[in-house]
Amino acid sequence: MISYEEQFLARVFDSVTDPMAIYDREFRILRVNQALLARFRLSLEKVIDRYCYELFYDRTTMCKDCHVEDVFEHGESRMLQKRISTPDGSERIFEVHSYPIKDEKGNTIQAIEHARDITERKY
């Protein structure tokens, strides 16, 4: 049975209107919010346990400038701007913030990523 705290955190996560994802140290997607599913027209089944680079960038290997890797390596947040193709065929510019999720000993065990579409601000 799901606890009240787990339900509350799930509601908070899904209340954010920008796409969000949580990754493990292997760069597999553990959880996404409803905004990400809607923005990229995906189902939860097609997302969970996939590698971020294959799902979002159609790659078979990690991105050269992977900021999530940097988060795992240094345990600090990172931000960058990325061009990402969307299901309608357009390319959008996202400001992507990545943050470490740490265990009780301070080790980075997961990373959370928040992406905001800033295309309109850029043009």
pLDDT of residue 123: 60
Q: Residue 106 and residue 69: Cα distance in Å, rounded?
A: 17
What pTM value is reported for the model?
0.90
pLDDT of residue 122: 61
3.90.226.10, 3.30.1360.10, 3.30.450.20, 3.40.50.1220: which CATH number matches 4-122? 3.30.450.20
Look at the block and give the residue holding tokens 């009240």.
Answer: 4
Kindly give the parts of the chain with pLDDT less than 70.
Answer: 122-123
DSSP H/E element including 39: helix 34-39
